[in-house]
Structure 1
Amino acid sequence: MLEKLGNYEWVESRKDSFGTYYFDQNFLILDQKRVSVSIKTVFTEKGKKERLNFMNISPLELTRLADLLDYEINIFILECDQHMFTHPEFAGYDKDGNILYHMSNNFYPIERGSILEDILDKVQGERDKTKKDKQHLN
């Protein structure tokens, strides 16, 4: 399971009618241009319904997931300079942490005002701070 792969330190980021969103504050800087971050969404009933509407699955599986789905963990790779992200994988879980589905995705623009943009801004601030510290040493 994705959740068993690491020690997450979930920090609540935002809440709306679709759910409560957390990001792992231990996001990983892969290189100068890429950052990996995990986001957990604990769905409201409205959010669960919206999420399941995007899945191309049988009506029987849709009913099963509607009863069991509690949260989803998404792993993103932020492409800082391009303001894009790769969405390599995500998985849905029930209340007990059992995996219900696991999927992969692709490359998308980061939407203005999104949680990913908030994280990207934090990363950029850290990158700028590091550059200033290096310049100060010279």
Structure 2
Amino acid sequence: MTTTTIVSLIVIGLLAGMLSGLVGVGGGIIMVPLLILFLGFSQHQAQGTSLTVLVVPVTALAVFNYYKQGYINWKYALVIAMFFVIGGYFGSKLAVSLDQKMLKKVFSVVLIIVGAKLLLEK
């Protein structure tokens, strides 16, 4: 691993972590594009690496801060988490079956739709 690669990984981790704590995003929205742009990952590699980062409780300290302020609905979070696991399994099966060009298009459309909705929301 080169120094440039290590610095890129550190920057990606810091940005994803900061934005995750700040606005609840980080994995797909930050890590995936930066892994592709900075390190030349394929779409599949970037998505797989981003998901792998999230396997460990990387957001535990951010969750603790929100918990201390009373901003967590544990019942809702538990239900979402259970079905997130199921959705993640089937979504990943679909993703690895798509070619990179199509997967990039799907990823881009999702980002555009979410971004437009947030931008245009009153």
TM-score (norm 2): 0.30
User: Could you say which structure has the larger radius of gyration?
Assistant: 1
**Structure with a larger share of its residues in helix:** 2
Q: Which structure's relative contact order is higher, taking Cα pairs within 8 Å and 6+ residues apart?
A: 2
- Bigger strand fraction: 1
